[in-house]
Amino acid sequence: MTYSSLQKFGWSNVFFQQLSFDEICTEGTLEQIFRITAIHRNRVEAMGANGESSIICGAEFQPLSQHLAVGDWVMAEAAHEHHRLVRIFEPKNRVRRISNGLPQVIAANLDYLWIVTSANEEFNVKRLERYLALAHEFDITPVVILTKTDICDDLEHYLGQLDSLGADNVHALSVNTPGSLDALSAYMSEGSTIALMGSSGVGKSTLINAMFHTDLATQAIREDDAHGRHTTTHRELFFCDNGVAIIDTPGMRELQLYDAEQGLERVFHSIVELSQQCRYNNCTHAEEPGCAIQAAIASETITQAHFDNYLKLLKEEASQKRRAEGAHAVKHYYRDYFKKVYSGRKDQW
Ligand SMILES: Nc1nc2c(ncn2[C@@H]2O[C@H](COP(=O)(O)OP(=O)(O)OP(=O)(O)O)[C@@H](O)[C@H]2O)c(=O)[nH]1
Ligand SMILES: [Mg+2]
Ligand SMILES: [Zn+2]
């Protein structure tokens, strides 16, 4: 067996280069390499050259959700019938957000982010702008997918708004319309990894089932009682026959960005460029004369909503940063404090 047997799981040179010469020369190294498919409390499930395995993770990797994500590559040595985690390969990217006030890793080593939304009241351009910023921040190609076009009688309304996003890859489809999913095959090269994200109920798991003939639980259409609902509860990666890795994620109520300044600049590049044309360097784009942004809004080149969302996300970003810096400062204060106390004691001894 050679390292190329891992390629269909997304292995590439980026990870191979992280092996030491000794490791490459040692027999059995290949069998110690795995890609994480699911994360539990103190163990993970993973795929390797010899198939699936359960990997136990020691205390140094706890809490797992802060060290590891679905899609990460790891090394693990055999331990009885399981494996034991040894180290984590530096990822190509690790997608993060803020959840309950703390940074949370959602997934790692992605090539495409399929941002799923549906042609109904769930649709929200501002929410899509957040997902686009997330993808751009981590250098992942975003693909915006509008589902449920079969039960929408105002499709133009949604398509018009999607157009205003200025995203490169946009697809409108329905699992009930044969052929409408065909365009998505453009993103399915062997070894690529796709994660689906979006609100609950937009049809992520249904779309995966339709594309890959899988059998993921989806929300049954039983509006009258909640018992038939099968919402996705765990992030899960699985490999398809065509060599594509798919990550299904539970619906997010809100996506709070974390450290996504560059992503925001990409999504709101027209505003960033306009702001350089304002008469005053320190223009606040409120009521100053010669403000290029206000002029663009007046001439309907950009919408007020687009600009408002930019300001909102920038503000969120700044407050996240302040909070993170605050936590950092507290940590340093205590570190210095204990150092002082400790060295004081040493003097007494
Ligand atoms: N008419 C129609 N219904 C769809 C389509 N796609 C999904 N649905 C329905 O929408 C509901 C929700 O679909 P899911 O695939 O479970 O949604 P999800 O995004 O995975 O939801 P979470 O797992 O909660 O995040 C189900 O009842 C699907 O049958 C579509 O293209 N057309
Ligand atoms: Mg689901
Ligand atoms: Zn201005």
For the cut 60, the answer to whether the pLDDT of residue 200 exceeds it is yes
Q: Is 240 annotated as a binding residue?
A: no
**Pocket perturbation via mutation, ligand 1, pick of 106, 199, 200, 218 by most ligand atoms within 8 A of CB:** 218
Distance CA 164, CA 144 (A): 13
262-281 pLDDT, tens per residue? Answer: 999 999 999 999 999 999 99
Of residues 321 and 285, more confidently modeled: 285
Q: Is 202 annotated as a binding residue?
A: yes
Distance CA 201, CA 262 (A): 30
Closest CA to 1 of 48, 47, 36, 46: 48
Distance CA 161, CA 16 (A): 43
* pLDDT-based confidence at residue 347 (cuts at 50, 70, 90): very low
Distance CA 70, CA 109 (A): 9
Distance CA 319, CA 311 (A): 12
- Which of 78-82, 191-195, 235-239 is least confident? 78-82
Distance CA 134, CA 252 (A): 14
**Separation of 103 CA from ligand 1 center, angstroms?**
28
Q: Is 198 annotated as a binding residue?
A: yes
Q: Which ligand is nearest to the CA of 229?
A: 1
Q: Which fold has domain 268-339?
A: Ribonucleotide Reductase Protein R1; domain 1 (1.10.40)
What's the mean per-residue pLDDT of the chain? 90
Residue 41: partners with Cβ closer than 8 Å, 6 or more residues away: 64
298-320 pLDDT, tens per residue? Answer: 999 999 999 999 999 999 988 88
Q: Is 150 annotated as a binding residue?
A: yes
**Separation of 202 CA from ligand 1 center, angstroms?**
5
Token reading at 92: 């190509």
- Nearest ligand 1 atom to the CA of 177 is 31
pLDDT of residue 330: 64
DSSP annotation of 91: P
119-166 pLDDT, tens per residue? Answer: 999 999 999 999 999 999 999 999 999 999 999 999 999 999 998 888
For the cut 60, the answer to whether the pLDDT of residue 342 exceeds it is no
For the cut 90, the answer to whether the pLDDT of residue 99 exceeds it is no
pLDDT of residue 165: 87
Specify whether the CB–CB gap between 137 and 259 falls below 8 A.
yes
Instruction: Give the residue, by CA position, lying nearest to ligand 1 atom 9.
Output: 203
- Nearest ligand 1 atom to the CA of 173 is 31
Instruction: Give the residue, by CA position, lying nearest to ligand 1 atom 1.
Output: 148
Buried (b) or exposed (e) across 135-156, using 16+ Cβ within 10 A?
A: bbbbebbbbbbbbbbeebeeee
- Which of 117-131, 176-190, 191-205, 229-243 is least confident? 229-243
Instruction: Give the residue, by CA position, lying nearest to ligand 1 atom 7.
Output: 203
**Separation of 166 CA from ligand 3 center, angstroms?**
22
Q: Which ligand is nearest to the CA of 287?
A: 3
3-class DSSP state of 271 = helix
**Pocket perturbation via mutation, ligand 1, pick of 219, 232, 236 by most ligand atoms within 8 A of CB:** 219
Cβ neighbours of 10 (radius 10 Å):
25
The percentage of the chain sitting over the pLDDT mark of 70, rounded to a whole number, equals 91
Distance CA 183, CA 328 (A): 46
Domain definitions of the chain by residue range: 3-88, 94-248, 268-339
For the cut 80, the answer to whether the pLDDT of residue 198 exceeds it is yes
Q: What are phi and psi of 334, to 5 degrees?
A: -70, -35
pLDDT of residue 329: 66
For the cut 80, the answer to whether the pLDDT of residue 28 exceeds it is yes
**Amino acid occupying residue 167:** A
CATH of domain 94-248: 3.40.50.300
Pocket of ligand 1 (CB under 6 A): 147-148, 150-151, 174-176, 200-206, 218-219, 221, 231-232, 250-251
The percentage of the chain sitting over the pLDDT mark of 90, rounded to a whole number, equals 74
For the cut 50, the answer to whether the pLDDT of residue 226 exceeds it is no
Distance CA 316, CA 318 (A): 5
285-296 pLDDT, tens per residue? Answer: 998 999 999 999
pLDDT of residue 228: 52
Please name the CATH architecture into which domain 3-88 falls: Beta Barrel (2.40)
